[in-house]
A and B are shown apart, each in its own frame.
Chain A
Amino acid sequence: MSALNTPAHRPRLSLGPILYLWPREQVLDFYAELLEAPVDVVYLGETICSKRRQLKPEDYWELAERVTAAGKQAVISTLALIESDGELKTLKRICADERFMIEAGDLAALDFLEGRPFVAGHSINLYNHRTLAFLAERGLKRWVMPVELGRATAAELLQRRPEGVECELFAFGRLPLAYSARCFTAYNRGLGKDNCEFCCGDYPDGVLVTTQEGQEFLSLNGIQTQSAGTHNLLASLDEVRALGVDLLRISPQSKHTADVVRTFADCLTGDLDPAEGTARLRDWAPSGLCDGYWTGESGYKVGMPA
C-alpha cells in the first residue's frame, strides 16, 4: 500500500471561488480574513455570470499575488458556462496569463489551456479513468470530482489516476447542481437577464426555494441552481483520508466560512473529533447538512457513514 493510505495522510484544504455577487468591499474583507485561515489553496474568480464585474480579472490577479505572498497556492477559476463572444474573449485573456494555475469551468477553457498545467473544475464532466488519462496528457494536474459522484467512483478513480494528478473533493457548501441560459434570480423578480439590475446581489447565499410542504430544497444563484442543503464531507473524514484524496474544498458562504475552515483544519490535525466538528458545522449551514451523493444516495439525504 502506498503511504497515502496510512492514517497520517492529511488532505490539504482549499477555498473555492465565491459563487455569489457580494459587494467589492465584502469580497476584499472576506479574503483579508481567509488569508489568515489554515487553507492551502485559494480559488479566485467569477464562475457564474459575466455581467458581474465588481471585481475584474486584474483585481483577481492582484488578490492572487497576495495569496501567493501568504504562502498559499492561488488558482484562477473561470466561468462554468460560456455562451457569448465576449465571455470567450475574457476567458482567452485569463488563460493567456501564465503566472497562476487556472481552473477550467467550461470545455472552452480546455481548448485554451491545453499543453500547460491546469485544474479541471467540477463543472467539467470527468467521470472515468479514460477521461482522466486523456486530460492528464493535455496538462491536467488536478481535478475536482463532479459533485454527484460518490465514494465508490472516487475510490476507483483514485486507484487509477495518472502519476502527478491530484484529486479534490467538494467538501463543504451548497452544491452546484445546474446552469442555465436563464437567470433565475432575475426571473423570479420579474426581470430578464439583460436588465437584471444585479438583483442577485440581494441574496448573499442565493434565493431559497422551499417545497409546498416546507422542505428547504434549492438555492437559486443567478444562472446557477444550487442545493439548499450544505454538502458536508467532514463526517466521512476518515474514509476520505484513507482513499488518499489530496484536497478538500470549502465553498465560501456569507457567514462563518473561516470558522468552517478552522473546524476542518482542527479535525485534520486530530485536535477535534469529526463528529463533534460536524455538530458545529450544522449551526453554520443555512438549511442543514447533507452528504447523500458521497454515500451513493440522493444528494439531499444524509447518508450512512461507511
Chain B
Amino acid sequence: MELVCPAGNLPMLKAAVDNGADAVYIGFRDDTNARHFAGLNFNDKQIAEGVKYAHDRRVKVFVAINTYAQPKGWERWTAAVDRAAGFGVDAIILADMGVLDYAAERHPNVNLHLSVQGSATNPAAIGFMQRHFGIKRVVVPRVLSLQQVAHLIRETTVPVEIFGFGSLCVMVEGRCLLSSYASGQSPNTFGACSPASHVEWRDTPQGQETRLGGVLLERRSHGEAAGYPTICKGRYQIDGELRHAIEEPTSLNTLDILPDILAAGVSAIKIEGRQRSTRYVTQVAKVWREAIDSCKRNPQAFRPKESWNQILAQVSEGAQTTIGPYERTWH
C-alpha cells in the first residue's frame, strides 16, 4: 500500500519525500487543480526540480489536473496535460471526461488516475472510465463505508486509492456546489472550496462571525476555536435548534482502522492538504510511514501509538477527528 502525500510547493515536496512518502501529488499554479490558492503550487522550473528530487529517491510524482474545464479556457487544461506529460511524471490525476478523453488520445503512454473529483463510487462507473480512458487507479470519494470499499475492490480491476487523513469532505467530491452557491466559485469551476477571497472574519458584539460570499456560516463566542469556514461545517438554525446541521468541524483520521484498510486491499492511501505547511507534511508523512510499516509487519498486533495520535492532533484542523464515512454509523 502506497503512501501518497500532498505538496503545495517544493519544500513540501522534499519534506514528503524525505519523510516516507511513496508518491507526492502536486498541481500547477492555476485553476486546473482543486487547490487553486494564492501563492501555492508549482511553476515549470519547480516541477522539473521536484520530479528530479523525487525520482532520484525512487518516489513517484503525480500531477493533479482535477477541475472541470469549460469551453472558455479549455486550452489551459489541455496545455496542463501536455506539460505534465512532458515532465515525465508518474501519473496525471484527472476528473473531467473531456480532459480524460484528450489525455488518453494524446498521451496513451501516460498513467491516468481518476481523481476523487471524478465522482466514481461504484464498479460500473469505474469500469466506464477504465474502458474509455484506460485509468490505472481510482481515488474513491468519501462516501463508502470500509466494507463497501472492500467490496468495490473485489468488483473492479482498477487499483483503489482512498483518503486516510486530512480535511473531511462531507459531500461526494466533484458534485458539491455549496461553495459556488454562496461565493460563485466551486472546486469544479475554480479549483477551490470556500475561496479565501470570498471569506470574511468579523468581530461583532454578538461574537466572531465568518461569512462566505456574504452568507453567515458561523457566529461563535469570542475565544471559541475556529476552523477554516466551509458551508458544510457551519452552524445554522434547523427545526428550531442551533446546530451543525451537516457536520461538526471535524477532520478525517483513519489510523485506528489501518489494519482493516490494508486487509481490504486498498492500493494507496492519500493524505489531504496541499494547502498546508512543510511542517504538516513532515509530521504526517513520518507518522503514517511508521504506522503503515508497523501494520504491514504485524496487522493483528497493530495499535496506533499514543505519540502518533498526539502529533496528528497537533496538525489537525478543528478539535475533533473522525473515521468519517468509513464507519457505517457516520452515514
A residues at B contact (CB < 8 Å): 80-85, 87-88, 91-92, 106-112, 114, 123, 125-135, 146-149, 152-153, 156-157, 160, 175, 177-184, 188, 192-194, 207-215, 217-218, 220, 225, 227, 292-293, 296-300
Contact = CB atoms under 8 A, between A and B. Distances in A.
Contacts of A92: 124
A88 B123 CA distance: 9
Interface string B231-267: 1101111110011011100000000000000000000
B96 A128 contact: yes
Contact of B122 (A82, A129, A208): A82
Contacts, number: 222
B175 A178 contact: yes
A293 B237 contact: no
Chain B interface category by residue count:
35 or more
* 8 closest A-B pairs by CB: A130-B98, A107-B125, A108-B124, A131-B98, A181-B143, A156-B71, A299-B181, A127-B68
Contacts of B283: none
Nearest to A216: B237
A194 B328 contact: yes
B331 A181 contact: yes
Nearest to B241: A188
A160 B148 contact: no
Contacts of B237: 209-212, 214
Contact of B180 (A156, A160, A299): A299
Contacts of B120: 107
B298 interface: no
A192 B72 contact: no
A184 B331 contact: no
B330 A148 contact: no
Contacts of A87: 122
Nearest to A129: B71
A204 to B, nearest CB: 15
A130 B178 contact: no
B188 A125 contact: yes
B159 interface: no
A148 B181 CA distance: 8
A298 B129 CA distance: 32
B interface SS class: mixed
A127 B125 contact: no
Contact of B216 (A181, A212, A227): A212
B195 to A, nearest CB: 11
Contact of B246 (A131, A184, A214): A184
Contacts of B125: 82, 106-108, 110-111
A221 to B, nearest CB: 13
Nearest to A160: B71
Nearest to A211: B216
A169 to B, nearest CB: 15
Contacts of B226: none
B69 interface: yes
A129 B215 CA distance: 33
A111 to B, nearest CB: 4
Given A107-B129, A128-B98, A225 B246 contact: yes
Contacts of B148: 83-84
A194 B327 CA distance: 12
Contacts of A110: 125, 128
B318 interface: no
Contacts of B239: 188, 207
A194 B99 CA distance: 38
Nearest to A81: B172
Nearest to B172: A179
Interface in B155-183: 170-172, 174-178, 180-183
A298 B181 CA distance: 5
A80 B177 CA distance: 14
Given A108-B122, A130-B102, A209-B238, A300 B215 contact: yes
Contacts of A130: 69, 74, 97-99, 101-102
Contacts of B182: 298-300
Contacts of A213: 216, 219
Contact of B325 (A109, A147, A181): A181
A152 to B, nearest CB: 7
B264 to A, nearest CB: 15
A83 B325 CA distance: 12
A194 B329 CA distance: 8
A49 to B, nearest CB: 12
Given A127-B68, A296-B184, A178 B98 contact: no
25 contacts: A83-B121, A107-B119, A107-B128, A108-B124, A108-B125, A111-B125, A125-B68, A125-B174, A125-B188, A127-B69, A127-B96, A132-B98, A153-B70, A177-B177, A178-B171, A180-B172, A183-B331, A188-B245, A192-B328, A192-B329, A225-B178, A299-B177, A299-B184, A300-B182, A300-B215
Given A130-B98, A130-B99, A298-B180, A211 B175 contact: no
Nearest to A295: B184
A294 B330 CA distance: 35
Contacts of B122: 82-83, 87-88, 106, 108
B299 interface: no
B271 to A, nearest CB: 21
Contacts of B127: 111
